[in-house]
Structure 1
Amino acid sequence: MNLDELNEEFGLEGEIGFYEEEDIVFAMVSNKYADATISLYGAQILNYNPVRSMEILWMSPESIFEKGKAIRGGIPVCFPWFGPHVSDETMPQHGFARILDWEVSKTEMLPNGESKIVLQLCSSEETKKYWPYDFCADMIFTVGNKLSVTLKVTNTSNEPLDYTCALHSYFSLSAIQNITIEGLENTLYQNQLDGGEYLQETELLEIAQAETRHYYDTETTCVIDDPIYKRRIRIEKEGSKNTTVWNPWAEACLQMGDVPDDAYETFVCLETVNKINNSIELSPGENHETTAIIGIE
């Protein structure tokens, strides 16, 4: 579907429109609550800016917008695996969903003035180069006073399938040393950097070094408190039993080609995940929804 056809069928005047840059199509959403931009490549929301507030999501100013490469920032969707492939290191990190084009299947203005857009990726010859199953995945974005992002996966095959996933959310900060994260007290986590398992006993998580923490069996709401920006970002979730907190810190940033050297100072990833001990198993015809709901307290 070309750009004119997209705008004719799915555009909503003054609220949702589509444009193209460098062979990538974007949806622009604007309503009384917020503005947002969504890339159809990767089904990835790039910004969410509530009215009378500042941008909540972080985007790398050096992100590469090129087919076959992941976009750095916003909320990438990791599916059907999170992290490296379990048995084939040649497979793309975090799965293939974030490096393929998705189709628009629905746009809608809700009665309360929120905007909804649904993107879909179904199994094809392309996806079966990476994963043998028949499926349909929907990314459902609702832009309003809060941002709701849902990955819905349906097993359309005749056999069971299992997958892991993440909504890999990047949050914009005044500075990493200023913030604390609430909601993970007394929660067991795996430290990916040393392979150990630990219990977070403190009420607040402060980040002062590289962190890749995968928290087990938690459905708790988390809050990023940023007193310099005078805001508290609240991240609720549904259909997710793991939470990942990630910041690469200085040395790793120097090795990343699509971020500034000091990028680690201005973002943290607090991710809505199903992995670790909670992969999703679907029988034929079954579906599962993983949702992050993001707003300002």
Structure 2
Amino acid sequence: MDIEALNAQFGIENVLRVVTGRGGLTMIEITNGLATALISPHGGQVLSFRPAHAAEDLFFVSERAYFEAGQAIKGGVPVCWPWFGPDPQGQGRPAHGFARIWPWTILATAQEPDGSTFVQLGIADDEHTRALWPYYFNLLIEIRVGTTLAIDLITRNAGDRPLRLTQGLHAYFKVGDAGEVAVHGLSGCRYLDKAADGADAVIEQTGPVRFDREVNRIYEAVPAELSIEDPVLKRRIGIETKQSRTAVVWNPWVETARAMPDLDDADYRHFVCVETVNTASEVIEIPPAQDYSLGARYRIESA
């Protein structure tokens, strides 16, 4: 479907339009008086969200990010599904699953009574997905753009056997200086330290999470509300989660960032990832004809 046809079906006058974006990819632009947002159907990915009161965007997107078919876009909120992390079976399939590099279909748009804007995108299984993951499914992402941003990732088991998966909303939050940032809400939680030398170490968090080296941690038994304190941008980012008891906190720091071709060397200073996930011991099993919804709501507050 071309851009003109997409706008005829899904455009909302003076609020939502479908455009051709970077790399020739189709994008959804929203400006509704409460906020602006940019959504990429490639990957089903929110790339930008800025409420009207905010001085800066909520999200970081690398200037060197790949905007092309078959590549993940570095920034915004990539969708990790149906596995989080490396291929769990070691078959050479894409890290973090295939959803973040897949073309999603625009299914619905609407303007809500409260002034927010609703967008629904989806993927249904076909011979291409089943070659990577041999299950029948419908995957939806529902996005609500208002004074806050809400994202719900909904998996529907369309087959006759249980689905087992891990997944995540891999949010890259824009910050003034990662070295000055503090992540609150995880004190007392145990985490698996994926950046530790040798075997993964299990450690209990004491106080806020801070960044002065590479951080790559899977926290378990986490509360439903976390926050990021950013004194440089003078704001606090609130994160409310639904049906997630694990969280990943990540920043690549100097050496790992240098090894990533889709990051500038200094980019590690400008984002931290606090990811709403089901991973590690939190493997989700969905019975036939049932749904599972992983959700996050983000807000920006003055510090």
TM-score by length of 2: 0.96
State the partner residue of 1:141.
Answer: 143
Can you list the C-alpha shifts for 1:184-221, whole angstroms capped at 9, x where unaligned?
A: 0100110112301010122x111111010100121331
Matched-pair contact (CA < 8 Å) for 1:184–1:220: no
Can you list the C-alpha shifts for 1:121-171, whole angstroms capped at 9, x where unaligned?
A: 010111112100000000111000000011000000011111100000000
Unaligned residue ranges in structure 2 (runs of 5+): none
CA distance in 1 between partners of 2:34 and 2:180 (Å)? 27
CA distance in 2 between partners of 1:217 and 1:276 (Å)? 11
State the partner residue of 2:201.
Answer: 196
Shift, 1:263, TM fit: 0.8
CA distance in 2 between partners of 1:159 and 1:169 (Å)? 31
Please state if 1:48 is matched with 2:54.
no
Matched-pair contact (CA < 8 Å) for 2:247–2:276: yes
- The change in CA–CA distance for 1:251 and 1:89 in structure 2 (over 3 A counts) is farther
State the partner residue of 1:20.
Answer: 20
CA distance in 1 between partners of 2:215 and 2:224 (Å)? 20
Shift, 1:52, TM fit: 2.6
Please state if 1:29 is matched with 2:16.
no
Match of 2:184 among 182, 185, 199: 182
Please state if 1:206 is matched with 2:207.
no
1:164 partner letter: T
1:288 partner letter: Y
Matched-pair contact (CA < 8 Å) for 2:84–2:279: yes
User: What's the secondary structure of 1:65's corresponding residue?
Assistant: coil
Unaligned residue ranges in structure 1 (runs of 5+): none
CA distance in 1 between partners of 2:224 and 2:210 (Å)? 18
Off by >3 Å, runs of 4+ in structure 1:
none
Matched-pair contact (CA < 8 Å) for 1:82–1:95: yes
State the partner residue of 2:275.
Answer: 271
CA distance in 2 between partners of 1:24 and 1:60 (Å)? 16
Matched-pair contact (CA < 8 Å) for 1:219–1:238: no
State the partner residue of 2:111.
Answer: 109
State the partner residue of 1:39.
Answer: 40
1:1-297 → structure 2 map (5 Å cutoff):
1-21=1-21, 22-53=23-54, 54-194=56-196, 195-202=200-207, 204-297=208-301
Q: How many residues align?
A: 296
CA distance in 2 between partners of 1:98 and 1:220 (Å)? 24
User: What's the secondary structure of 1:197's corresponding residue?
Assistant: strand
1:266 partner letter: H
- The change in CA–CA distance for 1:28 and 1:126 in structure 2 (over 3 A counts) is same
User: What's the secondary structure of 2:63's corresponding residue?
Assistant: coil
TM-score by length of 1: 0.98
% of aligned pairs identical? Answer: 34
2:43 partner letter: G
